[in-house]
Chain A
Amino acid sequence: MNKYIPHTPDDIRQMLDKIGVDSIDDLFADIPESVRLQKEYDLPEAMSEEEIRAYFKALGEQNQQQVIFAGGGAYDHYTPSAIDALLSRSEFLTAYTPYQPEISQGTLQYIFEYQSHICELTGMDCTNASMYDGATAAVEAIFMAVAQAKKKNRVLVSATINPTLVSIINTYAKYKGINVDIIPEANGHTDRAAMQAMLAEGDVAGVLVGSPNHYGIIEDYTGFADDIHAAKALMIMHCDPSSLAVLKTPAAWGADIACGDGQPLGIPLSFGGPYVGFLACKKELVRKLPGRIVGATKDVDGKRAFVLTLQAREQHIRREKANSNICSNQSLMALHITIYLALMGKQGLREVNEQSYGAAHYLHDELVKTGLFTPVFPDAPFLKEFALRATLPVKALQEYLAKQGYMAGIALGDCREGMDDCILFCATEKRTKRQIDELVKLIKEVQL
């Protein structure tokens, strides 16, 4: 019939005979006439592979590949070649969720390795088999905190996290009936005194902070965990997992839950997805952890094996009272970062951070040297992302540089009040000195 449907007319005849009907149409006789499809779909004729290639090539040409000097939640890090080759193995790619562990040890084992990596990076005791993305992982972390607190229904979110993340949290909270209050910022940092005052008002189940924060600043959270725990709330830290090769872990800060997006671990930008979220916690919270968890066990012959475990948690046994509706994960993308972390290893991930730090600080210093920019938060420590105030009109500058093939940061005025003249720049290990020098040269020469 076509290359995806192998049936010959003879096959169809024999099958209909076995069923005992005259035509395939007879199998649809139960559908009321008024809702039977009576027309041809208004779709193009089937395309051959060559036509499809040409079609997408033409669409691809309507995109512009830019040199990326921006982050904002998606970072242009190096992707080792071996990852795609392994991910395209059909045994990984075309498998379903590992419900039959005897023939799914491949998936189960790499999820176990993934969980080991995430716990290693975050310092946490437990994690699940992955989440959709960093934002939904943060939402689930908040749900966990509210469920753990039982009767408390309010969460505090730092103003220094990405405003897009705040709007996602607000969306979920609106429907689930959770109150979200924003902790004000002071000079790009979460205002600890303000948080203490808000905690003192009571009813707080959890507090969400970011590291590095939306401005790229590595905040000092000394004392935060004590404040939060004194109010019997949970501390949730949303972080960049790549940075955790060098930065203090959420566990070391005293956080109870760590979450974030795995994209910086070598997942291509891919216009926003697929990425993968991670969610990790202290062992006291493991039974509140949504999604799937893989555990080690033995088979009847004593062989080491892996299996989905702790399945008897809340969402499975009391589905109408579920705290999460998470069913699947982003398994293949979890494999992506598992292989990435194996290839980069202890030394490589550190080097990625050092090179990103070097590139970003060079870019920062060169831009400031032009006299056209000043740091928004002078002396605040950063890794690969930083905010500058521009004397040039931000939108016009970005538009001009986009035409030259550069994505020159993110306009902070789009998401933050009073920051119309600010740009959030980023440079990773993929940015070369030459690319940075060219960008700076263009900016110096621009006439707007």
Chain B
Amino acid sequence: MKYYDKLIFEISRPGRVGYSLPKSELTIGNSQFTIPANLLRETPAELPEVSELDVVRHYTNVSNKNFGVETGFYPLGSCTMKYNPKINEEIAHHPSFCGLHPLQNEESVQGALAIYYHTARALSELTGLADFTLTPFAGAHGELTGLMVMRQYHLLRGDTKRTRVIVPDSAHGTNPASAAVCGLEIVEVKSTANGTVDTNDLKGLLDDTIAGIMMTNPNTLGIYETQVVEIARLVHEAGGLLYYDGANLNPMLGASRPGDMGFDIMHINLHKTFSTPHGGGGPGSGPVGVAAHLVDCLPNPRVVKEENGKFKIQHSESACGRVAAFMGNFGVVMKAYTYILSLGKDIKHVGPIATLNANYVKESLRDAYYLPVDTVCKHEFVFDGLADKSTGVTTLDIAKRLLDYGYHAPTIYFPLLFHQSIMIEPTETESKETLDDFIDIMHRVAEEALSDPDMVKSAPHTTPVRRLDETTAAKNPLIKYRDLN
């Protein structure tokens, strides 16, 4: 197929249109537009003028330059790139939901409110927490909301000193950023050699200024924090709360619940564990769950069920506040709920099979790649580059070479604990054959790194574009069409 490199603006021709509006009897010409002239724009916005076929063909060609889960295997660590089922999309696009105005009267949106309510109930059952808000738009937004809940809990008790939060040095980058935006000071807790929280270091950090601790379990190395029960006891004794970053929840389905581990607050990435598509970077959804003593601190508004079975939108004075105009990415919630119903009780197989897949890939590749922490993993694991680094081939080069073979690259250079991190998460939806093919290619790339290192260092060779000049892009930012001319 021919490489397509046009921008929509470059196929625009004056006078072409791609829409149809009714010839309404209410249409007015420009002359009757009685808005004072000084409130109007002087020159029209230069929007494209294209036909419908122009638009459809343009974006179809543009889409062909993209790699999605349906294009091929996407072993991107920490991102849980599982299959996004088609039925989820069909349900979420149903006209009886798409046309609802978010401020319609409660009586007229009982079906939509029921979905909110039942999704929250299902998430509670799967995590062992008392209740959820489904409003946060993304994982990072969930983190921030969860931390607001944490702060509000302390503030409502008059405990105003608690303005510091403990974050492991191996945490996802958003954890400290969310804490900072929530007005919390970050205290870093050290990791042990295998990447788990150092409980001795933790003990020294706990005092009456600590609002809580943020943890991921399994952690960013895919390792279960076996000390979690002890950590929960220590933090609770010191008056703090435990926040669970749900980015790594997938392997816990069917295995262990954050609420049972002792966590008070968590967020879930519906776009990871609950199969909703990533959409090239959103819309996601980051519901926040809390233990019973924190339910009153969840943000407004909340959906509750009344005794007569009707659903109601409720506002509370003790809430941590309001984090969005309406009730979040409802369409994404519908997809996640469809997924939960599709699997039902069988959702318990998700964690075990995701874990089986990850350990299988790890054990199959450890001869060619350096495994810095040699233990059973959960949904993901981390290599520290090639086992044989003598030719200077880096993690970046390996990632780029994989693109030539039709794979998305793993997550690279994260976690920061190692210099050449390659983080692989296969998810449960990939078959043994897919994994075997990937393992073969990973071996082949490791061999190429020794036999033809220059070819690997200059990869990719077969992608729509090759390595990009990122330095010039940052030095002289061209961020819109007008900048190009």
Contact = CB atoms under 8 A, between A and B. Distances in A.
Contact of B76 (A96, A300, A307, A341): A96
B41 A315 contact: no
A282 B141 CA distance: 26
Contacts of A64: 104, 107-109
A304 B485 CA distance: 14
Contacts of A44: 341, 344-345
B140 interface: yes
A338 B8 CA distance: 10
B297 interface: no
B186 A320 contact: yes
A297 B432 contact: no
A101 B465 contact: yes
A1 interface: yes
Interface stretch (B52-60, B236-244, B288-296): B52-60
Contacts, number: 664
Contacts of A402: 104-105, 107-108
A269 B101 contact: yes
Contact of A82 (B56, B81, B148): B56
A179 interface: no
A100 interface: yes
A175 B180 CA distance: 10
Nearest to A10: B432
B74 interface: yes
Nearest to A219: B39
Contacts of B111: 59-63
A115 to B, nearest CB: 5
Contacts of B115: 59
B108 A63 contact: yes
B19 A100 contact: no
Q: Among A30, A49, A57, A100, which residue has the most Cβ atoms of chain B within 10 A?
A: A100
B173 interface: yes
Contact of B463 (A34, A73, A102, A307): A102
A218 to B, nearest CB: 5
Interface in A336-367: 338-339, 341-352, 354-355, 357-359, 362
Contacts of A31: 224, 226, 255-256
Interface stretch (B62-70, B202-210, B382-390, B441-449): B62-70
A56 B39 contact: no
Interface residues of B, number: 198
B283 A273 contact: yes
Given A63-B96, A343-B55, A398-B105, A309 B180 contact: no
Given A46-B342, A355-B21, A309 B91 contact: no
A94 B70 contact: yes
A448 interface: no
Nearest to A11: B432
B104 to A, nearest CB: 6
B72 to A, nearest CB: 9
29 contacts: A5-B428, A24-B352, A30-B224, A32-B226, A37-B254, A46-B346, A84-B93, A88-B89, A92-B280, A93-B279, A93-B280, A96-B408, A105-B65, A105-B465, A106-B64, A106-B66, A126-B477, A133-B324, A175-B148, A245-B45, A246-B41, A248-B40, A270-B330, A271-B330, A274-B329, A296-B483, A309-B473, A331-B280, A345-B49
Given A271-B100, A286-B477, A323-B181, 7 more contacts: A18-B360, A36-B255, A60-B96, A220-B38, A270-B98, A358-B28, A429-B21
Give the 6 A-B residue pairs with the shortest CB-CB distance, closest first: A272-B326, A171-B321, A106-B66, A60-B96, A272-B102, A332-B279
